[in-house]
A = this chain, B = another copy of it.
Amino acid sequence: MSLVQLDDYGPWTVTPKPRSETDLQAFQSRLFADLADFVGSRDGYAFFGRFDNMIAVTNGIDPETHERFQERVRNRYPVTASVGIGRAPTPAAALGAASEALQSAGGAQDPARESAIAVAGPDRSSGHVTIAHFDVVDATATYTNTHNAVDTNLTIQRATTELASYLRSEHDGVTQFVGGDNVVAACPPLDEAQFDEALAHVEAVAGVTLQVGVGAGSTARDAGQEAKEALERCRETGTRFARGD
């Protein structure tokens, strides 16, 4: 997992006075889009996280390639980005290692840190990723077409938060809302019963019925495509869980 953190970004957004919020929104979104393209075309996955702290699943992408992304940011944007790369048996542990590596290289608002890169963990990762792709059963009919958008958004947001907390505490997963009613998690290999429990938990605490497609592979792209195709089978067959072949 990689953690991409903008350098000294908070202070920049208010220097010399608070910058236009819509400009910041547009700027952050485009920078993330660039990361998604960059990582995506190398078979990884990118998550917007908090925009100033973006997360990527980057199995098989070496540090030199990350530097190329840093160069691109430096050439295109008024800010720079530092990167922590962590390798560990679970996604959350890998992201923890990445976080610590980056913290060692300097704080997020340390003016001296600029385009730093830090790596932690064993030399080679296992090369195996599991991706779970969730969505809300019948979201359009149940929510979008019948409720105030503010409530639909809140409902999805709460379901996401509960799912992310659960997968973090129970299985060391890293979970991200990816738009619409879709949520993607990088997680260890789990069995169907474990996913059923996760869905049941979200239904119990947030009142939202999810379904999930699960895929595995040597890259996030392979695992993720498999997960998406499995989720299609859920949509077609009405089952709540499907796994790629």
- Chain A residues with CB under 8 Å of chain B are 3, 5, 9-10, 13-14, 17-30, 32-34, 36-41, 44-53, 55, 68, 71-72, 74-78, 91-92, 95-96, 98-100, 103, 107-109, 133, 140-141, 144-154, 156-158, 160-161, 164-165, 168, 174, 177-181, 184, 221, 224-225, 228-229, 231-232
> How far is the CB of A155 from the nearest CB of chain B, in Å?
10
* Contact among B34, B52, B144 for A179, CB-based, below 8 A: B52
> With contacts A154-B165, A229-B17 known, is A40 near B26, CB below 8 A?
yes
What B residues does A71 contact at CB under 8 A? Answer: 20, 23
Contact B37 A20 (CB under 8 A): no
Name, among A28, A41, A55, A98, the residue most crowded by chain B CB atoms within 10 Å (CB to CB): A41
Contact A29 B27 (CB under 8 A): no
State the CA gap A19–B224 with chains docked (Å). 10
What B residues does A53 contact at CB under 8 A? Answer: 144, 149, 152-153, 180
Contact B25 A46 (CB under 8 A): yes
* Contact among B10, B18, B165 for A228, CB-based, below 8 A: B18
What B residues does A30 contact at CB under 8 A? Answer: 29-30, 33, 76
Contact B25 A32 (CB under 8 A): yes
What B residues does A231 contact at CB under 8 A? Answer: 18
> With contacts A21-B184, A53-B152, A180-B9 known, is A27 near B140, CB below 8 A?
no
A-B contacts, 5 of them at CB < 8 A, read: A9-B180, A13-B180, A14-B228, A21-B228, A76-B78
State the CA gap A160–B38 with chains docked (Å). 29
What B residues does A107 contact at CB under 8 A? Answer: 140-141, 144-145
What B residues does A55 contact at CB under 8 A? Answer: 149-150, 153
State the CA gap A30–B80 with chains docked (Å). 18
> How far is the CB of A62 from the nearest CB of chain B, in Å?
13
Contact B161 A157 (CB under 8 A): yes
> How far is the CB of A57 from the nearest CB of chain B, in Å?
10
Contact B149 A98 (CB under 8 A): yes
Contact B147 A99 (CB under 8 A): yes
